[in-house]
Amino acid sequence: MKYTPFFGCMMTTKYPWFEAAVRRTFDKMGIELVDRDGFTCCPDPIYFQAHDKMEWYTIAARNISLAEEAGYDIITTCSGCTATLSEVNLALKEDAALRAEINDRLKRIGRQYKGTVNVRHAVTVLRDDFGMERIAGTVTRPLTGLKVAVHYGCHLLKPSRVMRVDDPDRPTILDNLLKAIGCEPIHHDKTLLCCGRACMDNSISDQMVIDILEDVVGSGADCMGLICPTCFDEFDTGQILLGRKYKKSFNIPVVYAFQLLGLAQGLAPQEVGLQHHKVKMDKLLNIGA
């Protein structure tokens, strides 16, 4: 099992411990990541796509063409990168006229998009290639009984026509990963609500985040478990900012799914950067002690 990893901007610069968590857990499972130089921003599916869709296709196609040279499927670890690269890859595979137009632009730098690789989120590799049932075999320290409020976010699942990951209304992929490492996944009323990040009017998005956080508190979960660095931004740093703005207190630790997997596989909390989170989680930070 070999893949070309695409970690993107946020996970390499702002939250590099998420990159570390993916690299270390994949290493534990014997899945090889063959790095490729020369990637840029995916580019961003919200504002860059809003800027100019043709430019968005072009830069994403350039990134995909780099992976095509190596010949391995791309695995993404950020939901934003997953959204951009999956959608552009499908659009260019399906639409020959669009592909020709984009390749005209790529010709200027001697590159070509061929449509020979797939784009897949890392978590689908665990389910479809490695196998969820084998995950338990890599666990040395099961997180038995840890109650995790699952947050899928939008772009791992939707649009399902493009993502082809799971049922967007009844997803199970993260639940099954959490169960495999001993956690108890928890759903609440707002489990599938968007984190609101792309919405320009903060009075709308603030209320979405507050509602989700309050639901998580009400669910009795020990922490939130999620898969997207933008959602992480909204719920970790976000809950501190919203707490100040609206005079509320939530105190809900937020953890990236691959950090939980790493801890269950025996990695120290520092190896997956848990100490850098704004909302500290003593229960997990002291796990190695």
Which residues lie near another protein (CB under 8 A)?
9-10, 12-14, 16-17, 19-20, 23, 37-38, 40-41, 43-55, 57-59, 62, 105-106, 108-109, 154-155, 158-161, 168-169, 193-194, 196-201, 203-205, 207-208, 271, 273, 276
Query: Shortest approach of another protein to residue 138 CB, angstroms?
Result: 20
Q: How many CB atoms lie within 10 A of CB 95?
A: 13
Instruction: Closer to another protein by CB, 117 or 210: give it.
Output: 210
Instruction: Closer to another protein by CB, 34 or 136: give it.
Output: 34
Query: Shortest approach of another protein to residue 84 CB, angstroms?
Result: 11
Query: Shortest approach of another protein to residue 128 CB, angstroms?
Result: 22
Query: Shortest approach of another protein to residue 192 CB, angstroms?
Result: 9
Instruction: Closer to another protein by CB, 13 or 116: give it.
Output: 13
Instruction: Closer to another protein by CB, 2 or 276: give it.
Output: 276
Instruction: Closer to another protein by CB, 14 or 248: give it.
Output: 14
Instruction: Closer to another protein by CB, 45 or 225: give it.
Output: 45
Is 198 buried (19+), middle (13-18) or exposed (0-12) by CB count in 10 A? middle
Query: Shortest approach of another protein to residue 185 CB, angstroms?
Result: 21
CA distance linking residue 145 with residue 142, whole number of Å: 9
Query: Shortest approach of another protein to residue 133 CB, angstroms?
Result: 29
Is 204 buried (19+), middle (13-18) or exposed (0-12) by CB count in 10 A? exposed
